[in-house]
Amino acid sequence: MSTYETIDFFSDPSLVADPYPYFDDLRDVAPVLPLPHLGVVAITGYDEAVEVYRDPDTFSSCNSVVGPYATFPVPLEGDDVGDVIDQYRDKLPMFEHMVTMDPPQHTRERAVLMKLITPKRLKENEDFIWRAADQQLDEFIAEGKCEFIRAYTQPFAMLVVADLLGVPESDHEMFRQGFGLSASPGMMGAGDQHGDNLNALSWLDDTFIRYVEERRREPRDDYLTHMALATYPDGTLPDVESVVRTATFLFAAGQETTARLLAAALKYLAENPAVQDELRQHKERVPEFIEETLRVESPVKTDFRLARRTTTIGGVEIKAGMPVMLLNGAANRDPRQFECPAKFDIDRAGIRTHIAFGRGTHSCPGGPLARVEGRISVERILDRMRDIRLSDEHHGPAGARRFDYEPTWILRGLSKLHLEFTPVG
C-alpha cells in the first residue's frame, strides 16, 4: 500500500489528477511533517502555513519557485544560514524576480509594483475587462463548443494584463501572436516567430525595454509612462531591467492564476447545471462562487520557503537550511479551518479566509485582478451561454469523466477543458 513514505510528491504521476487524498494522508499524520524525499518538510495545516507565510524573517523565499532543488555552492550548516542565503541567492533560478526576494529588497520592488496596481488603475482596467470578455467570446460562441482554455482563458488573461500595464490596444494583436494565442489562421506562434531562441519570451522583454526607454525619453499621457517613471520609496528611479522584470513577471503569474481559476470554475458549472441557474438569477453571488473555486481548486498547489534559522512550527523542529513546502491546496482543505472541506459550498462562513493567493508580504499582488476577471467572465459567460456542459467526446460520459491536468508539482490546473453549450442571442 502506498503511503507518504513511499510516494514521492515531486515525481509520482498519480498525484497529478487528484492530489487531495495524499494531502489528507499527510495531514492525518501531522500538519507539519518531514518527508523522506529531498529533505522537505510538508505543511498541510492552515494555521501552520499562515504562520510560515507571515514570518519572512525566519523563512526565506529564495527557493519559492524551485523548492528543494535550490542548491548553494557551499553547505548550509549550523543553526543560522541567513548569511549564506544572502551571499549566494543570486546563484538560484529566478533570483532577479520579486517572487524569490526577501525584505528589504522585496519591500522595495513590491512598492513599485503596487504603484502600478492601484485601486484607480484596477477600476480603469475593469472597463476593458468587460469588453475583452465579450470580444473573446465573440470568436467562438456561435460554434456552440470550444476548448475553453485555449479559446478563452489564455488570450483573455493575457490581454487583461496587457491593458493593466498600459500596452496600447493597437499592439494587442502583436502580443497575441507573440504568445501564440492569435485566433487568425496562418498567424505564427511564439515558437515559429522567434526561431531557435532559447528564451521563447525574449520578445516580451525586448518590447517592454522599448516601451520604458521610449517613455523615459519622451513621456506621454499614458499608463506606460506612469510605469516607466514609477520610483522606489526613497525617490530613486529603478533601472530599466527592474521595471521590465516586474512587467514580464506579471504576464507570467497573471495568466497562470487566472487561466486555472476560470477553467476550474467552468468545469464546476458544467458539472452542476443548477448552479448555473442559481448564479444567473443571483449575480451578486458570483464573487462567493469565485472564492470557493479558489479554495477548493487552488491554482498554486505548493509554495516553498527555506528556513534561515532553526525554529519550530506546529511543535516540529525545522532545521536551518531545510526546505519548507507550503501546500496551499491542502491548507485550504484543512478541516480544522473549513467544515466539510471537500464540499463546494458558496454559503460557507469565512469564505475569503483561504490562502489561494498566499498570505503576508508575498501575498499575490494580482489577487484583486484575478477576482475581477473571474467575476466578469462568469457573468458574461452565463449571460451568453445556456446549458453549459462537458463534452462526452473529449471527457467521457457522466460517471466516467476523464480530465488531464498540467503535470507540475507547483501549479494545479486543467490542461484542456472541452465545453458544449447553447449560444444566447
Residue 85 confidence (pLDDT)? 96
Q: What is the pTM of this model?
A: 0.91
Residue 395, class by beta-carbon neighbours within 10 Å (0-12 exposed, 13-18 middle, 19+ buried)? buried
Residue 138 confidence (pLDDT)? 96
CA 9 to each of CA 33, 301, 306, 367: distance values in angstroms, whole numbers, following the listed order: 13, 11, 18, 27
User: How many Å is the Cα radius of gyration of the chain?
Assistant: 22
pLDDT band at 37 (very low <50, low <70, confident <90, very high): confident
CA distance 156 to 84: 42
Convert the pLDDT of each residue in 333-378 to its tens digit.
Answer: 999 999 999 999 999 999 999 999 999 999 988 888 999 999 999 9
Whether residue 1 lies inside any domain: the answer is no
Which of these ranges, 206-210, 214-218, 255-259, has the smallest mean pLDDT? 255-259
Residue 352 confidence (pLDDT)? 94
Residue 176 confidence (pLDDT)? 83
Cα–Cα nearest to 166, from 215, 133, 119, 203? 215
Q: What's the gap between Cα 235 and its chain centre?
A: 31
Q: Given 3-state DSSP classes, what are the helix, strand and coil percentages for the chain, each rounded to the nearest 5?
A: 50, 10, 40
User: Looking at the 3D structure of the chain, how many domains does it have?
Assistant: 1
Convert the pLDDT of each residue in 70-104 to its tens digit.
Answer: 999 999 999 999 999 999 999 998 898 889 999 99
CA distance 403 to 13: 14
CATH number for the domain that contains residue 81: 1.10.630.10
Whether residue 235 lies inside any domain: the answer is yes
- Measured from the Cβ of residue 99, the count of other Cβ atoms closer than 10 Å reads 16
Whether residue 8 lies inside any domain: the answer is no
Whether residue 221 lies inside any domain: the answer is yes
User: Is pLDDT of 239 > 50?
Assistant: yes
Task: Determine what percent of the chain is predicted with pLDDT higher than 90.
Answer: 72
Convert the pLDDT of each residue in 197-210 to its tens digit.
Answer: 334 567 888 999 99
What average pLDDT is seen over the chain?
A: 90
Whether residue 295 lies inside any domain: the answer is yes
Whether residue 3 lies inside any domain: the answer is no
Backbone CA torsion sign across 5, 299, 384, 289: positive
Domain that holds residue 190: 14-423
Residue 221 confidence (pLDDT)? 87
Whether residue 333 lies inside any domain: the answer is yes
pLDDT band at 193 (very low <50, low <70, confident <90, very high): very low
Whether residue 157 lies inside any domain: the answer is yes
Per-position b or e across 266-286, b if 16+ CB within 10 A of its CB: bbbbbeeeebbeebeeeeeeb
Residue 283 confidence (pLDDT)? 96
**Grid cell in block for residue 50:** 499562515
Convert the pLDDT of each residue in 41-74 to its tens digit.
Answer: 999 999 999 999 999 999 999 999 899 999 999 9
Average pLDDT for 157-182 = 85
CA 125 to each of CA 122, 165, 255, 284, 310: distance values in angstroms, whole numbers, following the listed order: 5, 9, 15, 20, 44
